[in-house]
Structure 1
Amino acid sequence: MNHPIKSVWLNQLLIGGGAIAAITLNSLMTPALSSPEPEVLEDNPKAIIDEMWQIVNNEFVDRKFNRVDWLEKRQELLGQEYSSNKQAYKAINKALKDLGDPYTRFLAPDDFATLTSQTSGELSGIGVRLILDKRTSQLFVVDTVKNSPAASAGIKRGDRVIRINDKPTALMTLEQAKQELEGEIGTQVSLQLSRKDKGVFQVDVTRAEIEIASVTYTLKEEDKVRIGYIKLDEFSSHAAEQMTQAINDLGKKQVSGYVLDLRGNPGGLLFASVDIARLWLKKGEIVMTVDRRGGDRHFSANGTALTDLPLVILVDQGSASASEILAGALKENKRATVVGTTTYGKGTVQSVHSLSDGSGLAVTIARYYPPSGTDINHKGINPDIYLDLSMEQQLQLKNDPELLGTNADPQYKRAVGVLKSNAASISLPATPKPVGLRWENLREAVMDENPQWERMNQ
């Protein structure tokens, strides 16, 4: 998920409430039109506009383009003069807005680079997640990536970042801090940190390629019932591998059931959601996609499930896209009990393309449906057990994420109650066998469009 992809016609798919699902294949655009061609020169801002137009023309799910004369739109766009790529970007955004689809959108080079980094589940840096306190302009470490250079250097959650490469962070934006932390693999970044029990100290960290943990898990003992708690933050390209490890490790500890937490998960790779569903589901349909020509594609379980122990899934209004595919498939196949609130409600698939200047374009190309065929777009998936949190409870969990999956978390407590009711009839599982994952050369990703925190991974 790291670097901008320079190939002009790299195609990717999106399914998220902010995420992008990607299918990597090289595709040629429809070449000629019957009307006279406006002159489009390479390295001219008009070239970016024409790339955008061609992709939308070939792929947008609404063949009527929201009643926009898309051919006339091309003539209009290429008939104007643009002094810079940024000016062309404004014209592109305006044209896409006319399509009436919030998920068909243009991504400036920096945004596209961030997206590709998120979807790959990898980043080049030192492995810290930073948060900016807007009230004090202070920069803090909110987390470190497991086995990252930052973790190895002893950097901890709560450390305040005073200087990066001898530059004070007091006047830095989060983006400026990110730029300071970026650099070639193998080079060093110097940090001055402050910690309550240690005071001010200096640390030099060597940059590396890092796999981001999308999955975290732990064994819970709840009244002598052993429960495997798994938190899935996003459906990156490594998420299914990490989920496999979580299920296997917890299974060896003889758990009686699992709680899979998808709350706040904005989505990710479509095929990551399919592969993860297959880890839980022995048989049954997972999802169906329908493109603009009416062609449908079905994805089903393939007999590679790792466990048949009871499963409870936690969802909320922030569970979108790939999260809804997974929750919907396991709920409708009666494989899991879903607890929480109604999910986000995004039932469309996008393709993501890189353009020749490093920018990107996401285009809605299909709609997806859970096994029942229900249209969840703008509706979401209703849980089996509806349990909302009070504003006070939401604020408490937001301010202290360590409370998630504890007795201070009402939705988790309800999930535990469901598993306890099944505990008497559960026999201990055999050690599951590892499963080889198949990616079928397809990727999908999701961006969080309404982040509650200004945050950054680096």
Structure 2
Amino acid sequence: MKLPRFLSSMIFILSISSTTLHAQTPVINPERERILEVYDLITQYHVDKPIGQKLSDSAIKGMLQSLMDPYTTYFTDEEFDSFLNYIEGIYSGIGVAVAIKHGQIVVDDVYEQSPAQRAGILPGDVILEVDGIEAVNEGVLLAIANLQGPEGTRISLTVKGKSDTRTVDLTRKKVQVPVVRTKVLQGQVGYLSLTMFSDEAVSTFKRELNKLEASQIKGLVVDLRNNSGGTLSSALDFSSAFIAEGKIAILRDINHNEELLKVEKGRDWKLPLVVLVNENTASAAELVAAALMDHEKAIVIGTPTYGKGTVQEGFPLEFGGTLKLTIQEYFSPNHRVIHNVGVYPNIFVGDPQEQLEAAAFVLQNQNKVVLNPVNGEVRINQNLDQSDIPFAIRHEGKWYLAMRKMAYLWNGKVGYDVEERKVALQLGTKNRVYPLGKSPQVLVRKGTAYLQLDEVLQRYDAIQKVHEKDGQLLLKKSER
């Protein structure tokens, strides 16, 4: 499981309130007076002559801890500046994105011109120790936190690569996270990834989107995997690129008053659109994914999202520091709950590489498969299938097709019942359930259920078979 890159994932109202909490507190409040009375007694009489700031810091932390809300946080002025830099994709560290796999820290990405890149750290490397902290199981979270720190400070890593294990000493520096990436996939499908919702990031995203449109793309993949959120205003601005008008979220405050977050002068996106999400798609990214689903603008593919459905606002304190306080919960336009639930995708795909493959399948309307019984080759839209989980396999002289890939390719649905060991496949209007391990029509290979071709053609009239030369078979979506 990946972790959000820095601090808490959030939707944050960037326009900081100028009204302090002190000014909002009633003049006569017994609980407030009780706290002040204890503070005065400690500072006047305790034998250790406690420092007032340490007492107040501890009191603040204690109050926040009692809320059981990880997104309500107290920042010193220095910490708040770092937080604002984070929202803009700037932080001080070694320049890597990491994932936790089997209780270890695995490098997922290495940023350009970063200390990690200069030290030769590569994606796939395993970080075994961070400044002497063993980065395994319980020590993983602390080790990850220590990857970041003040600019100019030193850090020592023990890294296991493909061929060796070595110790490297790095100096932390300011790192600019590449928040927008773009390319054109096969079939003139545009691809845009966004790792943070900030005003600058969304502005860059829109510019890149315009360039892709000018290149005559036929569909678009928006990758929000590992997007840990950002500001509410940027989420609204992003949504306006795809939704002409209407609500994108419902905000509810302490008194259950509801406020609609609406797009009023956006544009009506017409091209096929897929949004990729995973367990670290959080906060503002979840809001956007849910809005595009509810407006039926996008097919969402991936795994259920993080489940952070609250909004924070910053309150500068009169005597220094800033309180980031949860002030609202948000819901999707159709009033779906996001907090502690997340957004469940239209098509569940667990493997990251397969998620992008599924997106490409969904965006191509004329998906055709050619099966060659002579050499066992499988071609999808004229491209040789060389994926780790092939679309089709041969077993005892018969073809078997991967159920979940059929669902991607021909706009179907597949569902698994782990406890009952059953798999359900829907193609067109037909839906059937197959027991795993008991049905001769079903094979399981590398965790993927394959359905015998004869069964597919007999039970699902949405798929059409055409005989071609040399015994090859053409499979395509039926035009009926």
Q: TM-score, normalised by structure 2?
A: 0.56
Is 1:367 the counterpart of 2:335? The answer is no
Contact kept? 1:23, 1:351, Cα under 8 Å: yes
Q: Which amino acid counterpart does residue 300 of structure 1 have in structure 2? A: V
Listed one character per residue, the Cα deviations across residues 101-144 of structure 1 (whole Å, up to 9, x for unaligned) are: 443333466754542221122346886668999999xx998655
Partner of 1:28: 19
Partner of 1:75: 33
Listed one character per residue, the Cα deviations across residues 267-310 of structure 1 (whole Å, up to 9, x for unaligned) are: 211111111111122333222323345252432141356x5311
Q: Which amino acid counterpart does residue 73 of structure 1 have in structure 2? A: E
Q: Name the CA shift for 1:320/1:203 in 2 (closer, same or farther; >3 Å).
A: closer
Partner of 1:19: 10
CA distance in 1, matches of 2:336, 2:85: 32
CA distance in 2, matches of 1:26, 1:327: 28
CA distance in 2, matches of 1:263, 1:321: 12
Partner of 2:447: none
Partner of 2:179: 214
Partner of 2:84: 116
CA distance in 1, matches of 2:61, 2:170: 42
Which of 421, 435, 443 lines up with 2:365 in the alignment? 421
Partner of 1:288: 250
Q: Which amino acid counterpart does residue 28 of structure 1 have in structure 2? A: T
Q: Alpha-carbon deviation of 1:88?
A: 2.8
CA distance in 1, matches of 2:266, 2:260: 19
Q: Which amino acid counterpart does residue 9 of structure 2 have in structure 1? A: G
CA distance in 2, matches of 1:284, 1:104: 30
Listed one character per residue, the Cα deviations across residues 385-429 of structure 1 (whole Å, up to 9, x for unaligned) are: 24152xxxxxxx6xxxxxx4x4xx2x32222221112789xxxxx
Partner of 1:103: 71
Which of 229, 239, 243 lines up with 2:191 in the alignment? 229
Contact kept? 1:257, 1:310, Cα under 8 Å: yes
Q: Which amino acid counterpart does residue 95 of structure 1 have in structure 2? A: M
Which of 59, 65, 78 lines up with 1:91 in the alignment? 59
Partner of 1:344: 306
Listed one character per residue, the Cα deviations across residues 183-217 of structure 1 (whole Å, up to 9, x for unaligned) are: 59xxxx9x9x99999x99x999997x764322222
Partner of 2:348: 387
Give the alignment of 1:64-213 within 5 angstroms: 71-81=29-39, 83-84=50-51, 85-99=53-67, 101-107=69-75, 112-123=80-91, 143-146=109-112, 178-179=148-149, 182-183=151-152, 211-213=176-178
CA distance in 1, matches of 2:119, 2:133: 25
Q: Which amino acid counterpart does residue 15 of structure 2 have in structure 1? A: T
Q: State the structure with bigger RCO (CA 8 A, min sep 6), 1 or 2.
A: 1
Contact kept? 1:125, 1:183, Cα under 8 Å: no
CA distance in 2, matches of 1:251, 1:122: 29
Give the alignment of 1:305-316 within 5 angstroms: 307-316=269-278
Contact kept? 2:108, 2:123, Cα under 8 Å: yes
How many pairs align?
Answer: 343
Which protein shows a greater Rg?
Answer: 2
CA distance in 1, matches of 2:348, 2:240: 27
Q: Which amino acid counterpart does residue 298 of structure 1 have in structure 2? A: L
Q: Which amino acid counterpart does residue 90 of structure 2 have in structure 1? A: E
Q: Name the CA shift for 1:170/1:105 in 2 (closer, same or farther; >3 Å).
A: closer
Q: Which amino acid counterpart does residue 417 of structure 1 have in structure 2? A: F
Listed one character per residue, the Cα deviations across residues 17-69 of structure 1 (whole Å, up to 9, x for unaligned) are: 7325023245234xxxxxxxxxxxxxxxxxxxxx5x666x59xxxxxxxxxxx
Listed one character per residue, the Cα deviations across residues 145-177 of structure 1 (whole Å, up to 9, x for unaligned) are: 45779879999768999xxxxxx9668977777
Contact kept? 1:17, 1:321, Cα under 8 Å: no
Partner of 1:325: 287
Is 1:249 the counterpart of 2:211? The answer is yes
Partner of 1:34: none
Q: Alpha-carbon deviation of 1:76?
A: 2.4
Q: Structure 1 vs Structure 2: percent identity of aligned residues?
A: 29
Partner of 1:376: 338
Q: Which amino acid counterpart does residue 10 of structure 2 have in structure 1? A: A
CA distance in 1, matches of 2:106, 2:301: 33
Is 1:238 the counterpart of 2:200? The answer is yes
Contact kept? 2:312, 2:328, Cα under 8 Å: yes
Q: Name the CA shift for 1:247/1:174 in 2 (closer, same or farther; >3 Å).
A: same
Q: Alpha-carbon deviation of 1:350?
A: 1.4
CA distance in 2, matches of 1:374, 1:129: 31
CA distance in 2, matches of 1:171, 1:100: 28
CA distance in 2, matches of 1:238, 1:151: 25
Instruction: Provide structure 2 residue ranges, at least 5 long, that are not aligned to the other structure.
Output: 1-6, 43-49, 135-142, 369-480
For 2:240, what is the secondary structure of its paired residue? Answer: helix
Q: Alpha-carbon deviation of 1:235?
A: 1.4
Q: Which amino acid counterpart does residue 307 of structure 2 have in structure 1? A: G
Q: Which amino acid counterpart does residue 266 of structure 1 have in structure 2? A: S
Q: Name the CA shift for 1:309/1:423 in 2 (closer, same or farther; >3 Å).
A: farther
Give the alignment of 1:40-55 within 5 angstroms: none
CA distance in 1, matches of 2:299, 2:126: 41
Contact kept? 1:131, 1:174, Cα under 8 Å: no
